[in-house]
Structure 1
């Protein structure tokens, strides 16, 4: 895993001094080649040993190894960005911007794959395949991917219960049975009502799958399986686009796995797709 991604992922679990070091590295990654461990310590007003211990906690032998790994990540990003921009020059006035945005989305998707072990993905797909019912909820903007995924599952013949209202889902959760699955979409994972619904669902023997950012949050802690999304950008109007793109790719992967695991599911999908086309015509 990228050291910068690891710092972001573990920041909420760090001590105050560790957060100061981590924040400095995230904000000044391109300048680290000019900083020794002692210079970094002086800049932050901490001891050199704190910098060394921070590096070792991330899994490196020391600060030089951490600095080298960060430099490699930045070099790879620069090569990819440069290639996208160079190729885009011939495609129109907005091609450079489009190429750079594509590169950011690709990076978010790659980081999202890194923080979701294959066993975790398999567990979610398997739970959906054998579930008696699959409950799906997402509030606000989280409701958009939740609704789309619920629709896709229903196209496969999966008995899907989709709610956009937390009060109704409270009632629906009381009908959960062992083997049922609840997919809870919440980018920040901090809505108390969704945590309450998840607890109730588990009390009835159901399995909770949370879909959140990879930062620590209450909903993720409550889930039986946590799907995590990595998407970072300093621009507020860009970061949600990266989150949505990486999330969609993750959900598409699970959907295809459910399809490929059962020929009967695929037949259901083909039949439902044909019926929908007939209605549209």
Structure 2
């Protein structure tokens, strides 16, 4: 999770000086360098020592180091930002239907391109190899990530790979049953909150030597630190201030589709045979009058 997202999370959860300072930083992110430490302390009705404590809260030794990291992150995001459309508010109330549709399509295309640019082929290959040799694949995620995991699980089942979703109420019990012969796929945008599901399962999984494949956002987060393989979600969206998870959803779906496809390709002929055999048996009653859809 990037620093600006961690600050937004603190603003949302905290109710002290961290909220006031965080709000000021986020509102003035593009011109923060114009303010001295004294200026920011006055504007937020705090003090220089409070700003230092704020920086240390996010793991920096002092305010100067925090400012350096934040301003460089802003510069990076400005250079790699989605063009022509805001990922958090891709349309306005005044936009007509066609403008809304065009903006959503543009956003999804840019999310896909960004996801591809963040994908390390070597990590994708390693993750697929872990899944291929695992006795059981257990997928963790809370809503809406749970639903993306369900699609991944269904695809794995179609090639006879044992895959299960870890329901939040039973995820701890399930984690205790896994061994080094299995693997866990954890989908979490923030990747933080080690006491909450799904990241609360990480300690149990590590204790049991279960390989962990994480699908999470860029930047520093708890899940990334303890995963064997990390596949990066396009992370331009804010955590809370947005209409929907348009870009994130597209990114996660592409990642699980790429991961399944690589698993499929590792034993292409055998998996093709399994997939077609299952489809013929389970979907034999499905009929289509449209010529291009018909299996006849």
TM-score, normalised relative to structure 1: 0.67
CA distance in 2, matches of 1:51, 1:197: 34
Quickly say closer, same or farther: Cα 1:113–1:199, change in 2 above 3 A. Answer: same
Cα deviations by residue, 1:232-273 (Å, 9 ceiling, x for unpaired) = 169845341221111111111111111122121222122222
Matched, 1:108 2:111: yes
User: Aligned-pair distance for 1:55?
Assistant: 9.4
5+ residue gaps, structure 1, are: 13-19, 61-65, 82-92
Q: Could you state the TM-score of these two structures normalised by the residue count of structure 2? A: 0.64
For 1:220, the equivalent position in structure 2 comes to 224
CA contact (8 A) 1:8 1:215 kept: no
1:62-116 CA distances to partner (integer Å, 9 max, x unpaired)?
Answer: xxxx999777657x824x89xxxxxxxxxxx522221111222222333333334
Q: Give the corresponding residue for 2:293.
A: none
Question: What is the DSSP-based 3-state SS (H/G/I as helix, E as strand, rest coil) of the residue aligned with 2:186?
Answer: strand
Q: How far off its partner does 1:137 sit?
A: 2.4
Count of residues in Structure 1 that have an aligned counterpart in Structure 2: 250
Q: Kindly tell me: are residues 138 and 53 of structure 1, through their superposed partners in 2, closer, same or farther at Cα, counting changes over 3 Å?
A: closer
- In the alignment, which of 163, 183, 189 is matched to residue 187 of structure 1? 189
1:260: which partner in 2? 265
Alignment of 1:95-134 (within 5 A): 95-134=98-137
SS at match of 1:216: coil
Q: Name the counterpart of 1:77.
A: 83
Deviations 1:25-71 (A, max 9, x none): 97668x77xx9x7x56598689xxx99988986998xxxxx999777
Query: 1:102/1:193 Cα in 2 relative to 1: closer, same or farther (>3 Å)?
Result: closer
**Which segments of 5 or more consecutive residues in structure 2 lack a partner in the other structure?**
9-19, 42-47, 49-61, 87-95, 288-296
Please name the residue that 2:44 is paired with.
Answer: none
Question: Please, what is the CA RMSD of the aligned residues?
Answer: 4.3
What are the within-5 Å matches in structure 2 for residues 240-255 of structure 1?
A: 240-255=245-260
Q: Are 2:166 and 1:138 equivalent residues in the alignment?
A: no
CA contact (8 A) 1:133 1:160 kept: yes
Q: Which has the higher helix share?
A: 1
Distance 1:268 1:127 in 2: 20
Q: How far apart are the structure 2 equivalents of 1:250 and 1:210?
A: 11
Deviation at 1:151, TM superposition (A): 0.9
Shift in CA distance, 176/144, structure 1 to aligned 2, threshold 3 Å:
same
Distance 1:52 1:261, change over 3 A: same
Alpha-carbon separation, structure 1, partners of 2:239 and 2:175: 38
